[in-house]
A and B are shown apart, each in its own frame.
Chain A
Amino acid sequence: MIALGYTMVYGVLQLINFAHSEVFMVGTFAGLYALKAMASGPEGGIVLAGVVGTAMLAAMGASALTALGLERIAYRPLRNRGAPRLSYLISAIGASLFLQNLLFVLTPIGGPAPRPYPNVMVRRTAFTVLGYSVSNQQLLIVATMIAMYLALDRFVMASHTGRGIRAVAEDPETAGMMGVNIKRIVVVTFLVGGLMAGAAGSLYGIYFGQARFDIGFIPGIKAFTAAVLGGIGNIRGALLGGLLLGLLENLGVTCIRSDWQDVIAFLVLVAVLMFRPSGLLGEAVRG
């Protein structure tokens, strides 16, 4: 799901948003505090659905705001000047470092130690398939992912703005001449990317039970790998890439030691970039 956010922003700007992992991290924290505000212990039924849903919405809102702020502060001045690619990358890294350490320094909210998530949704086995048990949390994640994916796919493929996004991705100059408001499209793209990251962040928090200032880094890299694997800028590709990467990692760990798990993502990334740089399903926002 983070991969979806990457893919969106990349497709439109032809740029890797290095600060995307921090947008995700902000989402995790926002989800945490929203949950804390509403519930203290395990909940069930309708209440649970409401609480988790609201927390996810709060996380999405916070992440979207962060993404918009990023666009406004770290990207737009450069774009207005027509700066070279290198400037964007450096600016994004700076912003990423800044956000990370902001959460590190603000001890009432973040701080160096991980913040535990309230145990609202107790993990238990929902059902068993072929001897593998699927927990209720995993079910939630998969369900949300599918819903998000469908919504995003519809948005990009069918809506007016979505058509604008695809046009800008393909050829910004021509799109601009045809009357597409590029500035607005870029903002919307960051917004959507932020929403996705926020949802992913809160789910990540619920599943792994904690939030920390540097939590965004590894998921960020992995999501990027997933996006590249599927074909960056391609929404279906991102979904496929995410699934494949998850599989590869888990298979890889059974073959070698688990210390190396994070290395697998990198190796996959390098291999894909070398042998099939356009990814499995090809580049460009196609859907």
Chain B
Amino acid sequence: MSLPESMSRVVIVGNRSRLDEVIEAIYKLGVVHLIDYTNDSDEGFTIGAPLSYSSEASERLLKIRAAEKDLSIRPKKVKTQESYSDIEAKISSGEVENVESIVIGAVDERNKVAQKITELEAKKADLAVLSKLPLKLEDYDGYQSLAVFVGTVKDDCSAKVAAVANTEVFVSVDKKEVRTPIAVFVANAQKEEVSAILSEAGYVELNVPEGTGMPADAMSQTEADIAANEKSLEECNEKIAQLSEQYKSFIAASDDLLAERVRKGETPLRIATTDYSYVIDGWVPKADLQKLQDGIQEQFGDSVLVDVQEEERGRGLHEEEHAEPRFKTAPTKYNNGVYAKHYEYPVSLISTPKYQEIDPSFVISIFFPMFFGFMVGDLAYAIPFICLGAYGLRHAKSKDFRAIATVFFYGGIWAAIFGFFFFGEMLGMHFAGDYDEMTNITWEHLLGVNLPDWFESIMVYNAHHGTEHYGITKIGAATVGFLLKVSVFIGIVHILVSYLIGFLNVNRQHNFKEAMLEKGGWMFSVVGVTVLCYAMSQMLFSHKDLEGTLLYLLIAGVVILIAGVALCFPKEKVQAILDLPGIVGNILSYTRLAAIGMSKAGMALAFNYIAITILGGSGVVGIIFGALVFVVGHLMIWFLAIISAGLHGLRLQYVESMNKFFVGGGVEYAPLKTTSKHLVNSLNNSNIEKTEA
């Protein structure tokens, strides 16, 4: 059972003039989880001011981020390693500003060209309308006594306009077009009259482009202009792509460097300072305490003091209660081996474990893959799970995918173990055993081979009603009860383990008595309910008489149950009795292990039956169609297995198990440290940083 790592609380004190170096050293050591200073915690202290280089670094970071956006660079995707000192030197010599101006220049140029193209497109559209009228561009303006209306109307009103005195109308009527181009030349005196007619017809004015000659000629000129501009737009894009390629390495690396520098520069905002000194409070894993002390001692000698305030924060809750508010919560640093580490993610989805409680990752790592494997329970379905899982564990980066890959891989292994040894199944068919066309198609029969005896003998043997099976039949009438019982037993064990962990937690946080009252009582209740239910089911369903062992079992069950309720009662009051049916529900909830396995086996049986019937039928079409049903059917079952087995397996952990002991609400251990992906040698840079500052 894994408790989070033990934490010590330290305070680092020194002369303010060397604060920047100390912060640098703390980042380099990467073990201090900073405790934020709040302004009124101690008299005489104030929050520190950002380090001198901080504001310049954040300005440059902004520029770099803008350049990233313009060049569509995603630093996470950039695979590069730059030397810290190189990037450092480049940034100092103004490379960031240089890149910024180059990028802005290129982007501006592209925007200008894009703008020009938009304008030309608009001009082309106008000219397209004008080209339908028999007039030259210069005909449309330059009159003193005439008013000119050029545009489009919804309804053809040329006759009405022409009826007005002193007008000349040009119109191009095309039934296919929604709007009709129109040009009206009218004496100034009749201007209002024409205007009224036009607006009634839905007139929209059109800007006549400058120029001379027929609009059609101007249009082809405009098209040529557009083509030329599009070519230069392409060139601009190429140039930007080139810039992106050229600078992505520098940009990604300097993003890392500057972001780190901003973080460091703003660290004083979280610590207490006076005019001449600073005080840094922090949590350090007990195992790393020596490393911190040695590291600081080596670099600063006696001028910086690392004082241990708490050698080790205990797991008793009273320690937390008596601490000062900002020192109350010790951070949780997961303490799992290589295997259980993969299951920290599902725990963190609920909440971070408290410092004082057992981290459930360990329990999940044992039961979750096992449940998953039991529900899948088929050798053929297991293999793709294992392959996908192995591939995911090797290549996946994101936390979500890694968690899924973990379940696939280890769950797949369990599925293979259960599928082969326990169920003796592949694709819903047993390897060996007595053949039955409907309920028990075997590989032995299907392939017409005789499997060796040793092969059969490593599977669970199972005989009933005179038929023999190797491996437990998931949906045989004789084995259903057995599988349900197995599920229930697994459930009882899982629930008891959960209560036991809860017991250990409370025992550690308070004392034995408290643990007995809070969790021990429930453990008794679970055992009592189980024994009682067993005895009653024997009586009711198996019709056994209430005598001998059964009677003693019944009495024992009642006694244990009463003891459990009595233990719980002081804490839980009536809840201790009201929750008893809940225990039965929780235990029966594990029957899903068998039920989901059965539902999948049922589907497999149906698909196999259909496919084999078709295959045995008529010729090539039968073979193709049968194979199709077989493949699609089993793929569907496999996909459903991900959802049902995965989700239900997880649910049993979350609801049935973790609810019994997990409290959560802890603070995750997040030490100050350098996290750059694109920089090498970043750990030996303290002196470079200093000169820059």
**A and B physically associate:** no
The residues of A with any CB-CB pair to B shorter than 8 Å are none
